[in-house]
Each structure stands twice: as structure tokens, then as C-alpha cells.
Amino acid sequence: MQEVLPEGGVIRKLWIGETPKYRDHVLRLDPDSRHSRFAGGVSDDFIRKYVDLAGGLDAVVYGFFVGETMRGAAELRPLGAHFPHQAEAAFSVEKPWQSHGVGSALLRRTLLAARNRGFQHLHMACLSENRRMQQLARKFDAELTFDFGSVIGEVESSQPTPLSLMRELMSDSHGFATAMLDLQTRMLRA
């Protein structure tokens, strides 16, 4: 799986204690992107509470990092015990990094994570005029079916396999190794 990301960027899962980086990323979104991300206007205060809650739930959050700064995010939130095979997915990329393949890479990781957790339905609160997100989803139409009226993506091959679990593990360890290398380089420079 060859991904071309903007130079110096990596995608990895968020670690414990990194919620502030996620919050700051969402707060930096330009007004249009913020509106698209939350399917409506929301305040800074709403965002702070929303991100704090994500840290406490069983959510999987992938971050797109340039250096230590998070510039993009994908969030997969289980809908809870009453809907065991359903989750909500949401994506955000800061404007200067949009249209460079980051959203595609984040969606690919999220689909793999959803599959490995047995989620068959992914809900996305996406405005019907959000053409960019619709284009992005269409790129994955082999794995995902969309109905943008009410929403929903369906992860079709929902059974995890040893290979799909291995792919997630490998991308986690690659993200970890890259982050450690980055940290080491910065410590040597200091």
C-alpha cells in the first residue's frame, strides 16, 4: 500500500495524552472546513468539549502530523452497545494540506480499522453539498457504499482477517518508528 503524503507528513494513531493536539487542529480549521466537518456552525467551546469527549470514548483517532503538529484527523467512534456493528467516521484536513491525498490516506486507514473492529456500517454526518467528501468516498466505492441523502457508508468486507489485522499492526508500528526517529532527530539538533 503505497501512500504519497505531503513532504514530511506521517499518519499515525493518536497516543494517550495527545488530545490537545487534536483539539488545536480542529480549532485551526478555516470556517468553511469547520462547517463541513460538523455539518453546521459550531463554537470553539463546542469543539473543546467535543474533543475532550472523544478522548474519553472508545474512539480510534488517526492524525496526519507534520513534525509535532497535527494537520489532519480521522475519527472512528463506536455508536455504543445498542448498535454494536455501527460507528461514526469523521475527517478533517487543514486547508493548506487539502487536495494532497491526505483525506484519501486517512479514509483508507479508517476503513481498515473499521473492518478490524467488525463495524459494518459507518455513519458520516456529511452535508449533501460537500462535493469534496463525496468525491473522496467515491474513490473507495469498492469497499464503501454511500447514500448522501441520509448518509451512510457501508463497509462491505466487514470480517477481519489475519492479513487485515496485520496491515493495521504494521501501519501502527511504522507510525511509531517514524515518530521516534523524528523525536530523536530533534533531540540531536537541540
Ligand X SMILES: CC(C)(COP(=O)(O)OP(=O)(O)OC[C@H]1O[C@@H](n2cnc3c(N)ncnc32)[C@H](O)[C@@H]1OP(=O)(O)O)[C@@H](O)C(=O)NCCC(=O)NCCS
Provide the binding-site residues for ligand X, judged by CB under 6 A.
33, 36-37, 90-93, 98-104, 124, 126, 130-133, 135-136, 139
> In terms of Cα–Cα distance, which of 101, 102, 121, 99 is closest to 111?
121
CB of 107 to ligand X, least distance (A): 8
Decide: residue 120, CB within 10 A, 0-12 exposed, 13-18 middle, 19+ buried: middle
Indicate the length of the chain as a whole number.
Answer: 190
Distance CA 81, CA 152 (A): 19
Q: Choose between 136 and 160: whose C-beta lies nearer to ligand X.
A: 136
Q: Which residues pair with 88 in a beta bridge?
A: 77, 123
Specify the 3-state DSSP secondary structure of 119. Answer: coil
CB of 142 to ligand X, least distance (A): 14
Q: Choose between 136 and 179: whose C-beta lies nearer to ligand X.
A: 136
Q: Choose between 11 and 124: whose C-beta lies nearer to ligand X.
A: 124
CB of 145 to ligand X, least distance (A): 16
Query: Beta-strand (E) ranges in the chain?
Result: 9-13, 60-66, 69-78, 86-93, 121-123, 144-147, 151-155
CB of 69 to ligand X, least distance (A): 16
Residue with nearest beta carbon to ligand X:
103
Cβ 134 vs Cβ 108: under 8 Å: no
Q: Choose between 116 and 130: whose C-beta lies nearer to ligand X.
A: 130
Q: Choose between 33 and 158: whose C-beta lies nearer to ligand X.
A: 33
Distance CA 60, CA 3 (A): 20
CB of 104 to ligand X, least distance (A): 3
